[in-house]
Amino acid sequence: MPPTPFSDLAELCATLEATTKQKEKTRLLAAFLRRLEPGEIAPAVLLIVGFIFPEFDPRTLEVGWRTMRRVLEGGRQTTLTEEPLTILRVHRTLEEIAEASGPGSRRLKEGLLEGLISRAGPREAEVLVRIIFGEMRIGVSEGVMMEGIAEAAGAAPSLVRRALMLTGDLGEVARTALTEGEEGLRRVGVRMFVPLKPMLAAMAYDIGEVIEVHGGRTAFEYKFDGARIQIHRRGDRVRVYSRRLSDVTESLPDIVDLVLRRISSDDVILEGEAVAIGEGGRPLPFQDLMRRFTRVHDVAEMAERIPLRLHLFDVLYLDRRLLIDEPYEERWRLLEAVSPGDLLAERIVTGDPAEAEVFLRRAIEAGHEGLMAKRLDSRYTPGLRGKRWFKIKPAETLDLVIVAADWGYGRRTGWLSNYHLAARDGDEFRVIGKTFKGLTDEEFEWMTRRLQGLKVRETPQTVYVRPEVVVEVAFNEIQRSPHYRSGFALRFARVTRIRRDKGPGDADTLDRVRELYEKQFRYKARMA
């Protein structure tokens, strides 16, 4: 078969965008995937969902809006003798753009980009721009694509989901499903030095209710004010991955050394939290910790200035055995067997709400965020959020995306400092409030530089940006609002920290905002 033209993918994207019914989207995706040659499946799947590389792949295009605008303004110069773009050619060129480095790389990137745009028709060019900036907005999330893959392959969606949890590579999962079927998906196992998606937790507000949901007894662990990490060790090789599956090993030599010296197994995948430690052994703020995670120069000096403490709370793989289907109690027993006690998360198992409340106060007084509650018989379900794990914090917060910012005045003159905060609503981001409170002067300066780099348009007062920066926002109350299209507004919103470890896909949803709004009336009356 001849290679599939990129115009076919662009046409599919337009049809998907015009379709609101999820079943129809699934059908369209399945029909398209069945037409592809095996080598086209993985690139096509990634491009359709707005990715170029799997989540754990560190490569980025480093193409800004200014560069893209210059290329687009140069116009298309397609000639009749040029062959049409294909899916494989587009993906390979984007790989070449990402891999260009060193002297002259900027010019090379622009040349490769110009070559793509010059051969693209108007619809293809529009889709290319959306892919490059991760803004497909055609209603095809990772979940919808998994349904499409399952239908195309005639496979159980649960098998597709499990394979993605273990590999983090949606394109490769699709290729396996369509070429090897359910048997191929069943053969997918853990890959050392390829991070698993982390298991997620739901928010809870009542310790007694959590204990009841967990069958009358549960495990409570400190919820640390740190960064979640996944550690892979085989022999003397150790790699450390962030919550977003990025490789942060080079920034954390002290963690690597600790694992090599003190973990008894040399074939293991561990999960834990790295906490920055200050005077008196108390945790440092999250922003200080992020200085360690983003450090690429003078790492040893920074490790001296900001030491880390490791708190382990799970083992996912041990001595060639995948453990995610084992109950939490058994995984904890195995964790205790390979780790010394001082590296384990502080933990109690109880069915007494009063005892858990005392433990919560201890966690807060120790400088941590709150508690995690984990059902004793819970399996580890990577990438999924449910009632097996709960997080319990005394203060309510939302993780929101900055979609615009206003220029400050007075002592904030020169800074983008009044942030428009948005929750996810499908493929859109809906503003639910603004705030200029919570950041230090140093953070205002950093945020101004970061947001200017994400600018898509501006007015004299406001810079509108690509939705990439996530912040944790505390608030006193959620109110109904006729001002915002979301229908909600935060009262007394304040940024508690910049979530550099989270992307826009990790932000809270508008459904979550709506849920919190309704919960407020547990103890309040409604207006008639």
Q: Do 330 and 285 lie in a common domain? A: yes
Q: Is residue 128 part of a domain?
A: yes
Q: Is residue 194 part of a domain?
A: no
* Dihedral sign for Cα atoms in the order 379, 385, 390, 391: positive
Q: Is residue 528 part of a domain?
A: no
Q: Is residue 218 part of a domain?
A: yes
CATH number for position 161: 1.10.3260.10
Q: Do 223 and 325 lie in a common domain? A: yes
Q: Do 335 and 368 lie in a common domain? A: yes
Instruction: Look at residue 264 in the predicted model and tell me its pLDDT.
Output: 98
Q: Do 404 and 385 lie in a common domain? A: no
Q: Do 96 and 234 lie in a common domain? A: no
Instruction: Look at residue 152 in the predicted model and tell me its pLDDT.
Output: 98
Tokens standing for 248?
């942060």
Q: Phi, psi at residue 357, to the nearest 5°? A: -65, -40
Q: Do 260 and 371 lie in a common domain? A: yes
Q: 341, 363, 392 — which closes off a domain?
A: 392
Q: Is residue 353 part of a domain?
A: yes
47 neighbors 13 (Cβ within 8 angstroms): no
| Alpha-carbon 479 to chain mean position | 28
The residue annotated as part of the active site, out of 109, 197, 223, 374, is 223
Alpha carbon distance 476, 494 (integer Å): 9
Total domains present in the chain: 3
Q: Do 127 and 36 lie in a common domain? A: yes
Q: Is residue 447 part of a domain?
A: yes
CATH number for position 423: 2.40.50.140
Q: Can you spell out the DSSP letters for 371-392?
A: EEEE-TT----TT-EEEEEEEE
499 neighbors 471 (Cβ within 8 angstroms): yes
Instruction: Look at residue 524 in the predicted model and tell me its pLDDT.
Output: 54
Q: Do 214 and 279 lie in a common domain? A: yes
Q: Do 227 and 367 lie in a common domain? A: yes
Q: Is residue 192 part of a domain?
A: no
Q: 343, 370, 392 — which closes off a domain?
A: 392
| Cα-Cα end-to-end distance for the chain | 67
**Is 223 a catalytic site residue?**
yes
Residues in the chain with pLDDT values less than 50: 79-81, 527-528
- Give the residue numbers spanning the domain of 439: 397-522
9 neighbors 85 (Cβ within 8 angstroms): no
Q: Can you spell out the DSSP letters for 471-506?
A: EEEE-SEEEE-SSSTTSEEEES-EEEEE-TT--GGG
Q: Do 347 and 422 lie in a common domain? A: no
Alpha carbon distance 448, 436 (integer Å): 12
Helix (H), strand (E) at residue 53:
none
Q: Do 183 and 233 lie in a common domain? A: no
Q: Do 146 and 220 lie in a common domain? A: no
Q: 358, 392, 426 — which closes off a domain?
A: 392
**Residue 77 DSSP label:** -
Q: Is residue 195 part of a domain?
A: no
pTM: 0.77
